[in-house]
Amino acid sequence: MAIDYVERIPNNVNLSGNRRLQRALEQWQPGFQSWWAEMGPIGFQAREIYLRTATSVDAQGWATFGYVKMPEYRWGIFLADGARDRHIAFGDHKGGPAWQEVPGEYRGALRRLIVTQGDTEPASVEQQRYLGSTSPSLYDLRNLFQVNVEEGRHLWAMAYLLHAYFGRDGREEADALLHRRSGSADNPRILGAFNEQTPDWLSFLMFTFFTDRDGKYQLASLAESAFDPLARTCRFMLTEEAHHMFVGETGIGRVVQRTCELMKQHDTDEVGRFGGIDLKLMQKYLNFHYSVSLDLFGAELSTNAANYFSMGLKGRFNEESREDDHQLKDVSYRITQVDENRIVQKDQPALLALNETLRDAYIVDCARGVSRWNKVIKAAGIDFELRLPHRGFHRAIGDCSTVKVTPEGRIVTEAEWAAHHAQWLPTAEERQFVGSLMVGITEPGKFAGWIGPPARGINHQALDFEYVKL
């Protein structure tokens, strides 16, 4: 169905055909706008930004580009087209028709999944709200705001499902999504990584590479859901998510590129004096963002995850192309666990190990990105490799959260950890140093000294295009 932009809430779900729902969402809309005004990007709200807006949900040409002021962005409800006769691909209901309504017995579990997903979206906007004034270029500033408005739209996606399918509890949960706050002591966001700060642009680029990539894997798993409206909304969200990961991957690649240039120019590994970020320091940021993102997949063994799968609510990555029974009744899966202070591999029931299965796919994907950055370093003739630390390093969720693990995967004592962690994670001084490099560059076509220019502009525009009209 085409997107209806005449309506107050743009949508392709025939909202005007359901007056009650339309009214409920129109009541939620001012709350969303107040949240955006209060917790969205600081500054730039009255500026014209070169943004893309969804205009149709098919793969070709879903986006139009043009100048928009962020508060006037057309947030709305877009679901990918439904597959005709879609059948459930996994779990106890495998083979049955996909559901257009929520089965009563799964209401609580499904609502919890949708709320957890929905909560991350406004959280990330809150985390990134201070970054505008220190953007390394207008190109990057525009990308930040594109990410922010789309996270806002993802919040709309989950608020729609809550309003449309969960009655009064759903409305209450949709309101609560506007009231929790990233980092708040009294009313924090649900998942750990979404209460961390994103204090500088290096953190932002790492976040969009590592944490948005968790989003990709979680959304892809929810896109398999037997609950068809959830599957369809997640399918469309994935197309938006791709740009966010592009921002992270190319952004870090540009920092690496710039660092390598400075290293060669000044014949030193220590480019801080010349306004660059050492590769070793980038490794520490990588260690931090990777480990907090690994936590987002939950514990290695999880009955929650097993239940979600058996119920048909959340599948595996690429569920349909997997060659097994899609029910995992008698299948095992090898996972990493801690056993008497040793890290070991153990076969466990695959059904319980679904969080780890998804984490494994994520790790492979992260490694691909890191190897692309390493190609840049190698091409510069520099002998250094960025690495993903061991999966047990610096974990707060799962088996390894009970021990201290080095980036190489060795369990160490608390005392050893205390003596060495400054070699592995950014120290307060290093964060302060990175912060000191963050000066806002607002001249079109100019880039801060710690990051290189991108290979090309957005939507075939030149690099010195006025991506934000100041």
Asked if 233 is part of the footprint of ligand BYC (rule: CB under 6 A), the reply reads no
Whether residue 315 contacts residue 227, with contact meaning beta carbons closer than 8 Å, is answered with no
Q: Rule CB under 6 A: is residue 295 a binding residue for ligand BYC? A: yes
The residue within the footprint of ligand BYC, chosen from 45, 304, 310, 332 (CB under 6 A), is: 304
Minimum CB separation from ligand BYC for residue 41, in Å? 15
CA angle 281, 286, 290 (to 5 degrees): 160
> Does 196 sit near ligand BYC (CB under 6 A)?
no
Other C-beta atoms lying within 10 Å of the C-beta of residue 1 = 13
Q: Which residue is nearest to ligand BYC (CB)?
A: 298
CB of residue 75 vs ligand BYC: minimum separation in angstroms? 15
CB-wise, 56 or 307, nearer to ligand BYC? Answer: 307
Residues 6+ apart with CB under 8 A from 470: 47, 138, 442
Which is nearer to ligand BYC, 286 or 441 (by Cβ)?
Answer: 286
Judged by CB under 6 A, which of 302, 336, 337, 406 binds ligand BYC?
A: 302
Q: Which of 178, 247, 260, 296 binds ligand BYC (CB under 6 A)?
A: 296
Using the rule CB under 6 A, is 305 a contact of ligand BYC? yes
CB of 202 to ligand BYC, least distance (A): 16
> Counting contacts by CB under 6 A, is residue 319 touching ligand BYC?
no
Given a contact cutoff of 8 angstroms between Cβ atoms, the answer to whether 203 and 191 are in contact is no
Site for ligand BYC in 84-113 (CB under 6 A): 113
How many residues bind to ligand BYC according to rule CB under 6 A?
25
Count CB atoms within 10 A of the CB of residue 178: 19
Tokens for 267?
């014949």
Question: CB 100 → ligand BYC: shortest distance, Å?
Answer: 21
337 binds ligand BYC, rule: CB under 6 A: no
Q: Which of 121, 196, 399, 430 binds ligand BYC (CB under 6 A)?
A: 121
- Binding residue for ligand BYC (CB under 6 A) from 148, 211, 337, 357? 211
Nearer to ligand BYC, 258 or 395 (CB): 395
Residue of 209, 240, 199, 272 lying closest to 76 (CA atoms): 240
Residues 149-188 that bind ligand BYC (CB under 6 A): 151
Choices 63-71, 87-95, 206-214, 450-458 (CB under 6 A): range interacting with ligand BYC = 206-214
Smallest distance, ligand BYC to C-beta of residue 113, A: 5
Q: What 3 state SS string does 318-341 have?
A: CHHHCCCCCCCCCCEEEEEEEECC
Cβ(237)–Cβ(157) under 8 Å? yes
Where does this chain bind ligand BYC (CB under 6 A)? Answer: 113, 116-117, 120-121, 124, 151, 191-192, 211-212, 214-215, 218, 295-299, 302, 304-305, 314, 355, 397
